[in-house]
Amino acid sequence: MKAFEIKKGIYWVGAIDWDLREFHGYQTQRGSTYNAYLIIDDKITLVDTVKHYLFDEMLERIKSIIDPAKIDYVVSNHSEMDHSGALPDIMNICKNATVICSPNGKDNLEKHFDVNSWKFKIVNTSDEINIGKHTLFFVLMQMVHWPDSMATFIKDEKLLLPNDAFGQHIASYERFADELGLDIVFEEAKKYFANIILPYSRQASKAVSEIDKLDIDMIAPSHGLIWKGNVNQIIKAYKSWDANETKEKAIILFDTMWGSTRKMALAIYKAFEEKNIHVEFRNIKTTHISDIMTHLIDSKYICIGSPTLNNTCLPTIASVLNYIKGLNPKNRLGLVFGSYGWGGQAINEIETAFKELSYTIIDTIKVQYVPSDEYLNKMKDDLKNKLP
């Protein structure tokens, strides 16, 4: 396993998790990488590590450049164990190294590992450490997406190492976004933001504002591909996602028992289509919620439908509502629909979830048992009249 030079004297020494297919309930069909970066200077510095079971892969890459025992500093931008898992192993080898982290980072590492023999240097926003030819500049990014998160900026190289920010879950031989294909990388970056960063968009916005002050020509996150030559594009995308900006776009999410709720979903689809509004149509039995979020993040209209089962909505829909409430996309228009036999309580539960999210509900539609073609046509026309 070889290191890969991303700038003169700065190497990617991370690990590729080709087999990863799930991350905190988020489907990672393309796997992932855990990116670590080695800076060769008067003070040899390693920025971040990898998951514990990929330590040997990282170590082999470091050894292709230097003896790892010579490492002077290990920067821990974030203490979550996909990045800190191999930290005890590397510290056992470079026993004289100092761990550089945020104040919360030190507290978190103490709660994860036995750190009694470690030396720490605590940094805050605008603190600098000179390591020889290079100067490391630090920016705290609290709650993007943990309280300890921070970014390391190598000023003279215009290189930002922001850990989870700007990342994507992709396993690939390629190291740069344009080598793999920007359409794929942006889709995965959007999915990553929608499923991990979105609940902290206010904090992310503040962090991006700080980062925007820096003179950056490369962003090397701790998951996925490195942004080179497209830095402004991904920063602009983050600003849009941070601001909960939406498009004139609808997403229809539903589950169905005997097909009635699906018929309603199709009528709703036709209403949006006839108004020339882009529609995403998703049966949640066949689309994972983490993929749904990639489309939901910029949809102005969120339409959710469920039949009633045992006086409540279907478990799949309950799960979707819980997931959306946790991620908390803001400023949406909601539409509630579903069929029922006698109670119809599913409708009330979806309405309650939308109210908790502070969505404006543009319509609530429910039908007993099977909707007729006449009913569906009227339902479509009524909805069209309520759309812009």
Looking at the structure of the chain, the number of domains it has is 2
pLDDT per residue as tens digits for the range 56-78:
999 999 999 999 999 999 999 99
CA distance 279 to 269: 7
Same domain, 93 and 222: yes
Q: Name the one residue in this structure whose structure tokens are 């504002």.
A: 209
| Cβ atoms of residues 301 and 277 within 8 Å | yes
CA distance 74 to 229: 28
pLDDT score for 377: 96
Q: Are strands 128-130 and 119-122 parallel, antiparallel or unpaired?
A: unpaired
Which one of 157, 164, 255, 298 is the catalytic residue?
Answer: 164
pLDDT per residue as tens digits for the range 313-345:
999 999 999 999 999 999 999 999 999 998 889
Same domain, 235 and 287: no
| Cβ atoms of residues 145 and 80 within 8 Å | no
Start-to-end C-alpha separation, the chain: 57
Domain boundary among 242, 266, 281: 242
CA distance 174 to 263: 44
Which one of 57, 82, 280, 298 is the catalytic residue?
Answer: 82
Look up the CATH number of the domain holding residue 365: 3.40.50.360
Same domain, 320 and 235: no
301 is catalytic: no
24 is catalytic: yes
Which stretches in the chain have pLDDT values below 50? none
For all residues of the chain together, what is the average pLDDT? 95
Quote the distance between the C-alpha of residue 291 and its chain's center. 11
CA distance readout (Å), 39 to 162, 260, 283, 355: 15, 60, 48, 50
Enter the tokens of residue 328. 């908390």
Which one of 83, 169, 223, 295 is the catalytic residue?
Answer: 223
CA distance readout (Å), 115 to 86, 92, 95, 110, 357: 13, 11, 12, 6, 41
pLDDT per residue as tens digits for the range 101-158:
999 999 999 999 999 999 999 999 999 999 999 999 999 999 888 899 999 999 999 9
Same domain, 274 and 218: no
Q: Which domain holds residue 282?
A: 247-386
pLDDT score for 208: 87
210 is catalytic: no
Which one of 78, 83, 134, 295 is the catalytic residue?
Answer: 78
pLDDT score for 207: 87
183 is catalytic: no
60 is catalytic: no
pLDDT score for 146: 87
Same domain, 301 and 366: yes
Same domain, 203 and 265: no
pLDDT score for 145: 86
112 is catalytic: no
Element (H, E) at 159: strand 159-161
192 is catalytic: yes
Same domain, 210 and 255: no
83 is catalytic: no
* Residue 310, SS3 per DSSP: coil
* Residue 184, SS3 per DSSP: helix
Q: Is the peptide bond before 134 cis (omega within 30 degrees of 0)?
A: no
Which one of 48, 57, 80, 349 is the catalytic residue?
Answer: 80
pLDDT score for 204: 86
Look up the CATH number of the domain holding residue 26: 3.60.15.10
Domain boundary among 215, 242, 269: 242
pLDDT score for 25: 84
User: φ and ψ at 227, to 5 degrees?
Assistant: -90, 115
Same domain, 113 and 257: no
Same domain, 321 and 215: no
Domain boundary among 192, 224, 242: 242
CA distance 143 to 347: 34
* Residue 296, SS3 per DSSP: helix
Counted residue by residue, the chain has a size of 388
Same domain, 174 and 256: no
High-pLDDT (> 90) share of the chain, %: 92
pLDDT score for 115: 95
Same domain, 34 and 80: yes
Which one of 11, 37, 73, 192 is the catalytic residue?
Answer: 192
